[in-house]
Amino acid sequence: MEPIRAVLFDYGHTLVDFLRTEEALHDAYQQIRGRIEAVAYMEVPEILDLIERVARGVDAMVRASYEQHRMEELDPAELFKEALSGIGFDLPRDVIDHIVELDHSSFSNSITVESGVLDVLRRLRSEGYGLGLVSNVSLRPDLMRADLDRLGIGPLLDGSVFSSEIGVRKPDPRIFAEALRRIGAEPEETVFVGDRLYDDIGGAHASGMRAIQTTQFRHETDPEPKPDANIRHLSELPETLRELGGPPPRPGDPREGAARTGG
């Protein structure tokens, strides 16, 4: 078995609890109302209720797409443009893009990261692992990376990839292959850590990686696919990687020669 040299992570419900508070949602809706009224040059008394219905409708379409295991990612800008047109607001693209950013802010203002998660990532880097992130998300990749940097996760990664930037979701092998390319790792020397059995564990196995299921934020159960290991908290990951063949061999480590000769 190849030594483990790299770790890829899922994002939501693996590194963070992916949620939006009602307060953050309401604030985003208020800002969207102001943007639309500024473009319309008029106040629309019922606009806040309409915006909430539109935004929740967009969320429902994205959620249904995931529940149906569709592989193609959706574009929130197109969804918002179509939904707003349906209630009489045919807005230019720059306004739609701003609305997408305001809607995204409800995530940015809700998500936090536990200090222990950053401690684990720092430890793994210090032990020589390459680190990356693979996330199924319809949100814009530039906004996602800004969130990662704000949370302190981004600087600890060697690369990240989002379904919204390449158009396909896990478990499609193309998103895993792109992540491996970005961090410069081979599948047989990489472990994937995620919470979802179908997307994360099954997808990683089909791509030639070993996979660890984390149940810190949510717990899926199913006889198949079966992860190579389970952890209840990310703090357990360094030891679990050690049990699977990590950390990466250092120069002079006997495993280094064995790995290169196929032994």
pLDDT value of position 74: 95
pLDDT value of position 215: 96
- Domain extents in the chain: 6-17+112-261, 22-108
pLDDT value of position 239: 97
Residue in this structure with the two tokens 């990749």, named with its chain if needed? 141
CA 182 to chain centre: 15
Residue in this structure with the two tokens 């379409």, named with its chain if needed? 61
| CA distances, 243 to each of 137, 236, 247 (Å) | 31, 11, 9
Half-sphere exposure of 234 (CA within 13 A, CB side): 27
pLDDT value of position 88: 86
The answer to whether 200 touches 11, Cβ cutoff 8 Å, is no
The answer to whether 133 touches 141, Cβ cutoff 8 Å, is no
Report the distance separating Cα 79 and Cα 85, nearest Å. 10
Cα dihedral 114, 120, 121, 127, rounded to 10, equals: 170
pLDDT value of position 258: 44
- The residues, any chain, with a CB within 8 Å of residue 7's CB and separated by 6 or more, are 124, 129, 130, 131, 132, 190, 191, 192, 193, 237, 241
**Phi (first) and psi of residue 72, to 5 degrees:** -85, 135
pLDDT in tens, the chain (263 residues): 789 999 999 999 999 999 899 999 999 999 999 999 888 776 776 888 888 889 999 999 999 999 998 999 999 999 999 999 998 889 999 999 999 999 999 999 999 999 899 999 999 999 999 999 999 999 999 999 999 999 999 999 999 999 999 999 999 999 999 999 999 999 999 999 999 999 999 999 999 999 999 999 999 888 789 999 999 999 999 999 999 998 888 766 655 544 443 33
The answer to whether 8 touches 209, Cβ cutoff 8 Å, is yes
Three-class SS of residue 201? helix
18-24: Cβ within 8 A, 24+ apart: 18/107, 18/111, 19/110, 19/111, 20/106, 20/107, 20/110, 21/106, 21/109, 21/110, 24/105, 24/106, 24/107, 24/109, 24/110
Strands (E), the chain: 6-9, 130-135, 159-162, 190-194, 210-214, 229-231
Half-sphere exposure of 242 (CA within 13 A, CB side): 8
Q: Dihedral of CA 161/164/165/167: which sign?
A: positive
Could you tell me which of 224, 229, 223 has the C-alpha nearest to residue 209?
Answer: 229
Strands 229-231, 6-9: pairing kind: unpaired
pLDDT value of position 37: 87
**Phi (first) and psi of residue 193, to 5 degrees:** -120, 120
Tell me the CATH number for domain 6-17+112-261.
3.40.50.1000
